[in-house]
């Protein structure tokens, strides 16, 4: 088998790249080791930056997003028993965010790929990548009982943090930067109308909590927990109790409903540089991870593949490698900004330990961002996505 671009991983990065290449008339094959149902149901991100929405629209996969996505112009920060509104759009030159599940983005991209009759292989096994520093890199894998080899001009490693592409780069090439946090998030999807008009990020002495949503009937709520928390110890009653405690306010009620899904996510910051080795290009979580507090992971994945697609299009149409040579640096500017913002939001909002000095610093910072125009504007422009990087 032969293709122009071999794409490993059918998450947001791989599927968006495949779509952008299709629009530009470049061939690709996408391979994914999970089944379609699993990929479409994996509940993760919920906040799309305006730039992400615009890109999906240009790629022709935003019809339902435009109908069902919920545009938000602000968020709330809650601390010290008070809820403060941060008017994002007012602070960030009219830009907004859209609440729309990653699952729905992925479903639209898969449907578009299959409707175009282009190769997207699920449930592949034993993926490995070879000859990365030659002009004919290859991907080997098994599919439906057959052992296959795909010869490519370039390979896009879009296989997430635990994928095979990054570890296939010879040792000594990559430099990694990492931070693990001593906490995680317990997230639920509940069948109940959201009790909030905009997201609430709550700092509380018992730990952080986040109120988000997926639709007018579905709420997505999180509480800070241990990274290795045993979900079995969290009955639905205990989860609601903790949410009520951490987000409660006089005169406001958090409505409860059946919990449809619950899970624990650990939190880390991670960057591997450069995002290229020979003809292998890493994109999305395969190259970098942010803690979810800044809502940046999916948006970064989309922004990487926008840059990669543009570079590949230039290469195929003019033979110029300038875009591909600059790919890693171009992505890393935005990635490091998002790394800093996500670390900063995480450090400001989570219970870090029992040191009262830390808690006082957090409260001071929260008071500052909710009272100073300059500080609020800085939060806002990062949250909606910087356009200058
Ligand atoms: P992935 O989504 O991980 O996709 C990689 C794909 O590769 C997967 O389908 C995987 O099965 C496949 N794969 C792995 N190994 C192989 C292999 N060997 N062969 C073939 N395929 C393979 N981001 C935001 O922007 N906003 C948010 O609000 C937000 N909230 C989040 C909340 C939670 C609880 C979590 C966990 C994450 C959140 N994120 C958020 C982060 C976001 O979900 C990720 O950054 C995003 O999924 C990255 O996309 P990706 O395509 O790079 O990687
Ligand atoms: C979500 O809705 O899942 C969500 C929202 C904001 C975040 C993280 C996750 O910062």
Task: DSSP letter for 281, please.
Answer: E
Q: Is 162 a catalytic residue?
A: no
To the question of pTM greater than 0.85 for the whole model, the response is: yes
Q: Is the CB of 31 under 6 A from ligand 2?
A: no
**Between vectors from CA 22 to CA 20 and to CA 24, what angle results, nearest 5°?**
75
Residue nearest atom 2 of ligand 2, based on CA coordinates:
46
**Do you find a cis peptide bond into 168, omega within 30 degrees of 0?**
no
Which one of 76, 107, 296, 351 is the catalytic residue?
A: 296
Q: Is the dihedral of CA 47, 49, 53, 58 positive or negative?
A: negative
* C-beta of 113 in contact with ligand 1 (< 6 A): no
For ligand 2, atom 4, the nearest C-alpha belongs to 46
Q: Is the dihedral of CA 126, 106, 52, 210 positive or negative?
A: negative
| Residue 296: active-site member | yes
Note whether 66 and 57 are within 8 A (CB): yes
Tally the C-alpha atoms within 13 A of residue 288's C-alpha that lie toward its C-beta. Answer: 32
Closest CA to 272 of 139, 159, 385, 124: 159
**CA 162 to ligand 1 center in whole angstroms:** 10
pLDDT digits (tens, 9 = 90+) for 41-63: 999 999 999 999 999 999 999 99
pLDDT for position 329: 98
> What are the residues whose beta carbons fall under 8 Å from the beta carbon of 256, sequence distance 6 or more?
190, 192, 240
Say if residues 283 and 156 touch (Cβ distance below 8 Å).
yes
Query: Active-site residue among 203, 281, 292, 350?
Result: 292
The pLDDT of residue 120 is: 98
Which of 291, 293, 294, 270 is CA-nearest to residue 282?
Answer: 270
- The reported pLDDT for the residue numbered 250 is 94
Cross-strand bridge partners of residue 289: 270
**Tokens found for residue 181:** 């946090």
User: Is 38 annotated as catalytic?
Assistant: no
For residue 323 and ligand 1, the question of a CB distance below 6 A is answered with: no
Q: Which ligand has an atom closest to residue 199 CA?
A: 2
Which residue has its alpha carbon closest to ligand 1 atom 3?
Answer: 160
Question: Residue 67 is encoded by which pair of tokens?
Answer: 């109908």
- What are φ and ψ of residue 191, in 5° steps? -85, 80
Question: What is the mean pLDDT of each successive set of 10 residues along the chain, which is 389 residues long?
Answer: 98 98 98 98 94 97 98 98 98 97 98 98 98 98 98 98 98 97 97 97 98 97 96 97 97 97 96 98 98 97 98 98 98 98 98 96 98 98 89
The CB of 49 under 6 Å from ligand 1? The reply is no
Q: How far apart (Å, rounded) are the C-alpha atoms in residues 374 and 178?
A: 30
């Amino acid at each position: 088998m032969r293709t122009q671009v071999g794409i490993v991983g059918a998450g947001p990065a791989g599927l968006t790249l495949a779509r952008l290449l299709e629009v530009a008339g470049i061939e690709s094959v996408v391979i994914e080791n999970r089944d379609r149902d699993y990929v479409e149901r994996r509940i993760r991100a919920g906040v799309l930056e305006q730039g992400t929405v615009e890109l999906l629209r240009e790629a022709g996969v935003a019809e339902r997003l435009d109908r069902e996505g919920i545009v938000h112009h602000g968020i709330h920060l809650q601390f010290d028993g008070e809820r403060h509104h941060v008017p994002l759009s007012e602070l960030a030159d009219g830009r907004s965010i859209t609440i729309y599940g990653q699952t729905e983005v992925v479903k639209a991209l898969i449907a578009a790929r299959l409707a175009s009759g282009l190769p997207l292989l699920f449930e592949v096994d034993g993926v490995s990548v070879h000859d990365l520093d030659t002009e004919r890199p290859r991907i080997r894998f098994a599919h439906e009982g057959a052992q296959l080899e795909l010869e490519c001009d370039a390979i896009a490693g879009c296989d997430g943090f635990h994928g095979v592409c990054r570890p296939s780069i010879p040792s000594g090439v990559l430099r990694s930067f990492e931070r693990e946090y001593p906490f995680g998030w317990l997230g639920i999807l509940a069948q109940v109308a959201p009790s909030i008009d905009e997201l609430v990020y709550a700092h509380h002495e018992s730990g952080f909590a986040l109120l988000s949503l997926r639709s007018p009937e579905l709420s997505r709520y999180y509480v800070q927990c241990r990274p290795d928390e045993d979900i079995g110890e969290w009955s639905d009653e205990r989860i609601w109790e903790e949410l009520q405690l951490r987000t409660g306010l006089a005169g406001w009620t958090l409505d409860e409903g059946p919990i449809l899904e619950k899970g624990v996510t650990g939190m880390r910051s991670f960057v591997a540089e450069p995002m290229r080795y020979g003809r292998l290009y890493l994109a999305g979580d395969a190259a970098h991870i942010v803690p979810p507090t800044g809502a940046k992971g999916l948006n970064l994945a989309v922004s990487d593949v926008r840059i990669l697609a543009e570079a590949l299009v230039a290469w195929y149409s003019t033979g110029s490698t300038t875009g591909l040579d600059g790919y890693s640096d171009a992505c890393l500017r935005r990635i490091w900004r998002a790394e800093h913002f996500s670390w900063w939001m995480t450090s400001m909002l989570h219970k870090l330990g029992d040191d009262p000095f830390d808690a006082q610093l957090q409260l001071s910072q929260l008071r500052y961002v909710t009272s100073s125009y300059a500080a609020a504007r800085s939060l806002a422009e990062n949250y909606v996505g910087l356009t200058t990087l």
